[in-house]
């Protein structure tokens, strides 16, 4: 069963090889009804696979996450049921990092607001004055594949790159030093960066990582960019910081409750996109190819190369 959009070529090949049911982003109740008899499910971030769904899928052998994050899958329930889970990490890192830089330009130069105004024949050029990125500091919270790529892109446009990482090994410290990234604590990143970009995974340590207390330590006039997960930021606290103009703006690709209205959409100093970090043709094509390979192995009782359960 395929429950989230994947590359058309990959879906075509799945249909050649398997008996495929496609139901885009079903509810939990629909999944409970649909899953009996299914041997594999392919999903991205738009569907939650709860323990209730997994426990009812008696014939399920494989959960294939067509992307990186697995916070929408109950891995404990999958392990208990003996279901193989694999994801496809890293191959979309460049796409997510490029979107993060694009969102940085969009919010610091008021591009989305300018577009809305010009479509209504509103010309307020002086109100749209933004900042140059060259010479400013990009602070990356989470220097994994995406974060390191974003830091490199930021340096490419003349920014200084600083960042934090959960468990910095000596090897990674040396790598960051070679590439011109200064390692700091999260607190130091927040205090020093003109743009704070969140690229960390969502887990117990990072849930509500950014609340009113952290936002208050950011430089007045700084910007927040989130391409990680919505749960990393307390959105009510972010709304308050934005309305008080303590921070100048935010660009958000991920919301805590996707497909539900967000108060952040009321604000002109916010740019929102619908979780499209990995949605480039290039990355989705690569993900599709790896998805096919992983399913071919896992459905024949072998381990997918990126098996996590």
Q: Which of 110, 149, 229, 286 is catalytic?
A: 229
Q: Which of 212, 215, 177 is nearest to 196 (CA)?
A: 215
Active site residue 39: no
- Give the CA distances from residue 297 to residues 61, 64, 73, 302, in Å, rounded to whole numbers and listed in that order: 12, 12, 21, 5
What tokens appear for 226 in the block?
Answer: 């989130």
Q: Assess contact for 254 and 228: CB atoms under 8 A.
A: yes
Active site residue 214: no
Active site residue 258: yes
Rg (CA), the chain: 21
Q: Which of 44, 65, 110, 275 is catalytic?
A: 275
DSSP state of 266: G
CA–CA gap between residue 1 and residue 24 (Å, rounded): 10
DSSP state of 7: -
Q: Which of 39, 48, 175, 258 is catalytic?
A: 258
What tokens appear for 218 in the block?
Answer: 């950011």
45 burial (CB, 10 Å; 0-12 / 13-18 / 19+) is buried
Give residue for tokens 């409970």.
Answer: 32
Residues marked as catalytic:
229, 258, 275
């Amino acid at each position: 069963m395929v429950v989230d959009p994947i590359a058309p070529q990959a879906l075509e090949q799945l249909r050649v090889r398997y008996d495929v049911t496609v139901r885009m982003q079903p509810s939990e109740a629909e999944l409970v009804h649909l899953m009996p008899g299914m041997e594999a499910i392919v999903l991205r971030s738009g569907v939650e696979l709860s323990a209730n769904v997994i426990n009812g899928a008696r014939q399920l052998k494989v959960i294939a996450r067509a992307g990186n994050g697995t916070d929408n899958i109950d891995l404990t329930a999958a392990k208990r049921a003996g279901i193989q889970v694999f994801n496809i990490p890293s191959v979309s890192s460049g796409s997510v990092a490029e979107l993060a830089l694009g969102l940085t330009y969009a919010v610091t130069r008021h591009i989305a607001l300018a577009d809305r105004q010009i479509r209504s024949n509103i010309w307020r050029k002086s109100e749209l004055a933004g900042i140059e990125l060259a010479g400013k500091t990009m602070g990356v919270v989470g220097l994994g594949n995406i974060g390191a790529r974003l830091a490199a892109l930021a340096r490419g446009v003349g920014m200084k790159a600083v960042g934090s990482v959960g468990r910095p090994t000596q090897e990674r410290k040396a790598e960051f030093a070679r590439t011109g990234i200064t390692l700091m604590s999260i607190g130091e990143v927040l205090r020093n960066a003109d743009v704070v970009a969140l690229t960390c995974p969502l887990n117990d340590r990072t849930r509500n990582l950014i609340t009113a207390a952290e936002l208050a330590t950011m430089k007045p006039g700084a910007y927040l960019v989130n391409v990680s997960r919505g749960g990393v930021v307390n959105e009510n606290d972010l709304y308050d910081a934005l309305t008080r103009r303590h921070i100048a703006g935010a660009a958000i690709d991920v919301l805590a409750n996707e497909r539900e209205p967000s108060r952040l959409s009321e604000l002109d100093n916010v740019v929102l996109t619908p979780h499209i970090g990995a949605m480039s043709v290039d990355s989705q094509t690569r993900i599709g190819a790896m998805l096919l390979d992983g399913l071919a192995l896992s459905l024949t009782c072998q381990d997918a190369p990126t098996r996590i359960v």
